[in-house]
Amino acid sequence: MVKNAINREIPDNYAAQYGAFEGAWAKQPTYKTTSRQVHAIHPGDSKLVASIHEAIEKVGLKDGMTISFHHHFREGDYIMNMVLAEISKMGFKNLSIAPSSIANVHEPLIDYIKDGMITNITSSGLRDKLGAAISDGIMENPVVIRSHGGRARAIASGDIHIDVAFLGAPSCDEYGNINGSHGKAVCGSLGYAQIDAKYADKVVAITDNLVPYPNTPISIPQTDVDYVLQVDKIGDPDGIASGATRFTKNPKELIIAEYAAKVIEASNYFKQGFSFQTGSGGASLAVTRFLKKAMIDQDIKASLAIGGITQPMVDLLEAGLVDKLLDVQDFDKASAQSLRDNENHYEMDAEMYASPFSKGAVINKLDVAILSALEVDTDFNVNVMTGSDGVIRGASGGHCDTAASCKMTMIVAPLIRGRIPTIVDQVNTVITPGESVDVVVTEYGVAINPARQDLMAMFKALDVPQFTIDELRQKAYAIVGTPDPIVYTDRVVALIEYRDGTLIDVVRKPGQQND
Amino acid sequence: MNVELKHQAIAGTTESSDIQIMIEPNTNEGIEIQLDSSVQFQFGKQIKLVIMDTLEKLDITQAYVKATDQGALDCTVKARTLTAAFRAADIDQDYDWQVID
């Protein structure tokens, strides 16, 4: 067993294979990116195929290969289940899947794992029943959890080699020019899919909206696409993007948001031309609303907002309070529409968004990020992956990427959720190391990471109650009691890669609990 | 206080942050608690302890309790347990709330 830089125990074999986490900025390699196979297309050649079956035959899928999907359709995705059902019918075995993330709707994966068709998975997240099944040990090989930036790095460097990418395409022509802004299953940005298209040996575009050549705007160009398949439906629009974002009425979330906005206002970062990223949780969205008021009152405009884009950010853009949005993914219909219509709202790929080993990611230019958490411990480590029962149910997302890179990382979370404390002695799983976390904001007040003495000084006169992180932890335990730690077996069910590819933690199968 | 359980009684709901306590006379010796909790692993022991402690303060030594918990705090666990016990004992006035402290 190896202890990494934040004292998490990594089994020797995995530590040897991946390396143990040494610190957020321990690695700065010079390297060559991976190459891909290209089969040249001549004039007159057609890329159109008639069925998934034909596509799978033409790409030459074999047992043991790695296939990928994008998660821009979120809970509305039909592509992954559709493709895997056909692959299953054709009897393939021992495949690796490398989707950018996995949603609840992908529950059929459980059967494909059990029958040996899928033997390896890498993903940002695992939800619900699949997460529970993985935690229960249905896979022999642990799932590799990668952040959005970490996945882009792994694909570009060749750690993940994608043999075939099956990419849902809301709008596509017969030569494979794709965008996500038009059609029946509009998802907006295709930022995660762009990486798969760029580095996969074979790319199959699957569309329910085949348009005349050339299809513009071009998010994924024809030069990245081998085959085009037309089907009835690639996704459910209501599952892809939520409707109008309603502002939270939850008083806890509102006070957290108010405190968070006060912290930002009081910081030196709140000045003309600042930049920020917010998450899509209730409190995060509400921060944007409070921030908007402060920006108007003090006549301060932001130069850039990024991320998963949501309607409140679009509102800021349209109100002239933000100059540009850089967009890797859209969470609601208003955001997708804005990407299509507003020239200051620009699509970016996952590598540009967050890869640690690119020639500079956009997150490096961030001043402030507002992120959420399932658990934060007294070393400021954050868990967004496993529940308080130790079972996998979350997603790494861009959490550790953004937290590492921006100047002030704020975690917004309620002190307790029901009887579950958010601030704890030790998180079940570390996704983001404490060194990347600067301010924790709860409804009781804030805790500043003592490593940031500059922030301590900056917030001397802040009109928000301030505590040490341990005082917040004590407040939580005083209300709910001291939770018994989860008992784990030695069986490793998931490896948590830090964005640089080293292991920051592993997830073990929970064992017999003492109750 | 002499609380004698006469029949089955129930208190509480299955809403989040509540606990539903069903209590009845036990044909076996002692207090038996069957707990189903959304926070079983972290707080299962503590919840059972609070139920046990509350019943003991009412001098109840023989009872079967079925508890369905949705993350109730200790104060709620105590209140629901007391109420269920009073109902099962047909006590509907002169409650002894002292046992809460």
Q: Where are the domains of chain A?
A: 47-240, 251-484
> Cα-Cα-Cα-Cα dihedral of B41, B43, B45, B47, to 10°?
-140
**Cα gap A145→A495, rounded to integer Å:** 6
Residue type at position A412: V
The Cα of B92 is separated from the nearest Cα of chain A by a number of Å equal to 30
Q: What per-residue confidence (pLDDT) applies to A136?
A: 97
Cα A134 to its chain centre, rounded Å, is 19
pLDDT at residue A111, as a whole number: 98
Q: Which residues of chain A have pLDDT under 70?
A: 244-245, 514-515
CA–CA separation, A115 and A120 (whole Å): 13
Per CB-CB distance under 8 Å, the chain B contacts of A252 are none
B44 → closest Cβ in A390, A418, A515: A515
Per-residue confidence (pLDDT) for residue A513, from 0 to 100? 75
Chain A residues close to B72, C-beta within 8 Å: 419
Interface touch B71/A388, C-beta < 8 Å: no
CA angle A326, A329, A330 (to 5 degrees): 100
pLDDT at position B101: 64
**Is A418 close to B16, i.e. CB distance below 8 A?**
yes
Q: Hey, is the C-beta of A251 within 8 angstroms of any chain B C-beta?
A: no
Domains recognised in chain B with CATH numbers: 9-89 (3.30.230.10)
Interface test with B, best of A419, A475, A508 (most B CBs within 10 A): A419
Q: What are B56-90's pLDDT values in tens digits?
A: 999 999 999 999 999 999 999 999 999 999 999 99
Q: Is A388 on the interface with B (CB under 8 A)?
A: yes
Q: What is the pLDDT of residue A514?
A: 66
Q: Please state, for a pLDDT cut of 90, what percent of chain B lies above it.
A: 83
Q: Are A505 and A496 in contact (CB under 8 A)?
A: yes
* A47-240 and A251-484: identical CATH topology: yes
For A246, how many CA atoms within 13 A lie in the half-sphere containing its CB?
A: 3
Q: Domain A251-484: which topology?
A: Glutaconate Coenzyme A-transferase (3.40.1080)
Q: Residue A283's pLDDT is what?
A: 85
Q: Cα–Cα distances in Å, from A240 out to A73, A76, A183, A332, A391?
A: 5, 5, 13, 8, 26
What would the 3-class secondary structure string for A35-61 be?
A: CCCCCCCCCCCCCEECCHHHHHHHCCC
Reported confidence tier of residue B1, pLDDT bands at 50, 70, 90:
low
- What pLDDT, on the 0 to 100 scale, is given for residue A515? 58
Reported as a single tens digit per residue, the pLDDT across A60-78 is 999 999 999 999 999 999 9
pLDDT of res. B95: 81
Measured in angstroms, the CA of A147 and the nearest CA of chain B are apart by: 28
pLDDT at B42: 95
Confidence (pLDDT) at A245: 67
Task: Give the pLDDT score at A300.
Answer: 97
CATH code matching the domain that covers A47-240, chosen among 3.40.640.10, 3.40.1080.10, 1.10.3720.10, 1.20.210.10: 3.40.1080.10
C-alpha span between A168 and A181 (Å, rounded): 13
A286-314 pLDDT, tens digit each: 999 899 999 999 999 999 999 899 999 99
Instruction: Give the helix/strand (H/E) hosting B11.
Output: strand B9-11
- Residue A147 identity: S
